[in-house]
Amino acid sequence: MDLATTLGPLRLPAPVLTASGCAAAGRELAQFFDIAELGAVVTKSIMMAPRAGRATPRMAETPSGMLNSIGLQGPGVEEFLGHDLPWLAERGVRTVVSIAGGSVEEFALLTRRLRGAPGMVALEVNISCPNVADRGLVFACRAGSAAEVIAAVRREAPRDLPVLAKLSPDVTDIVEIAQAVVEAGANGLSMINTLLGMVIDVDRAAPVLAGVTGGLSGPAIRPVAVRCIWQVHAAMPHVPILGMGGVRSGRDALELVLAGASAVAVGTATFGDPSAPLRVQDELRHELAVRGFASLADAVGLAHRRGARVSGAVGAHVAVERDESGRDGAPDTRDEAR
């Protein structure tokens, strides 16, 4: 089974990654499995300065999900460069460095500071953070501000360093945002970040999280991730997607792949099972094999070919059956009722 994959110019020998913020800088997971076996480790979003994050409580369980308002706690870029990245590089781990900022300038400064960092194979740009200059409105929620950040990162990044833009599902038209960041220079898209949610403790009649609202993740959001990946892949089939959102098993990962993801990241599942990323990778290999696929690449976006039967022995030799209208292409679902 050929599990190798590409995200634009980024070549990975394996398709499962950690999702940003769910495995810090990989150190904690290394006691459970060899993290170099994953496609890559995506680090917690790093900012210029150290940050304590939001007040506690900042986690809450929800039906089939989890709400967090960590608030981008982190050591700052200097500590990250001196401590975390060398540790990953020494172990031969491919590292995707996630960056976050409160301004376009902070994203640009971070990118410049990270130039030539050891072991860094790509940058993931977390644009789901508040833009201080725009009343705290999240960059990812407007095509203009999302594109501005990506253009600044692209300008500062070495030409051959892949840049992935991480998109928020909390938008009316995710395809519009995706198109804007790709035009601004993103080589690929990571999707989806958490959905904004809130929980109220009815006995105290008060919000559970000190930060009031938080990001919803876990199995509850997987259908949203599948829908977002589907819509973007339908509109831009040549733009590579790193999919994430509620993946707990190889079967879940395959669902995102069939929607159009070329690689999959595992986040929340890691809190309950620290081995989840490698387990999901092994299970994905099995799920592909039992369906007769010769490679992961054969499965990417396969569900878009409407008539294709994707259960049973199909794969490298899939005969795409056309539906009655004779179409086998990817329909534009953007106008369908949401």
Ligand X SMILES: Cc1cc2nc3c(=O)[nH]c(=O)nc-3n(C[C@H](O)[C@H](O)[C@H](O)COP(=O)(O)O)c2cc1C
Nearer to ligand X by Cβ, of 68 and 281: the residue is 68
Token output for 308: 């294709």
Q: Site for ligand X (CB under 6 A): which residue of 12, 14, 41, 45?
A: 45
Q: Site for ligand X (CB under 6 A): which residue of 12, 14, 17, 21?
A: 21
22 lies in the site for ligand X, by CB under 6 A? yes
What is the distance in angstroms between the CA of the first residue and the CA of the last residue of the chain? 37
List, by residue number, the catalytic residues.
129
* Cα–Cα distance measured from residue 308 to residue 288, given in angstroms and rounded to the nearest whole number: 15
Binding part of the chain for ligand X, among 19-27, 131-139, 146-154, 281-289 by CB under 6 A, reads: 19-27
291 within 8 A of 316, measured Cβ to Cβ: no
Task: Tell the smallest beta-carbon distance from residue 43 to ligand X (Å).
Answer: 8
Q: Site for ligand X (CB under 6 A): which residue of 5, 111, 193, 262?
A: 193
Q: Which residue is nearest to ligand X (CB)?
A: 21
Reduce the DSSP state of residue 258 to 3 states and report it.
helix
Strand ranges (DSSP E) for the chain?
A: 5-7, 10-12, 16-18, 41-42, 59-62, 65-68, 95-99, 120-126, 130-131, 137-138, 163-166, 188-191, 195-198, 200-201, 206-207, 213-217, 241-244, 263-266
Task: Tell the smallest beta-carbon distance from residue 301 to ligand X (Å).
Answer: 20
Q: Which of residues 108-127 bind ligand X (CB under 6 A)?
A: 126
Strand ranges (DSSP E) for 163-237?
A: 163-166, 188-191, 195-198, 200-201, 206-207, 213-217
Q: Site for ligand X (CB under 6 A): which residue of 101, 162, 240, 246?
A: 246
Q: How many residues bind ligand X (CB under 6 A)?
A: 26
23 lies in the site for ligand X, by CB under 6 A? no
Q: Site for ligand X (CB under 6 A): which residue of 69, 98, 103, 131?
A: 98
* Cα–Cα distance measured from residue 333 to residue 206, given in angstroms and rounded to the nearest whole number: 39
Task: Report the interface residues with ligand X, using CB under 6 A.
Answer: 19-22, 44-45, 66, 68, 70, 72, 98, 126, 166, 193-194, 217-218, 221, 244-247, 266-269
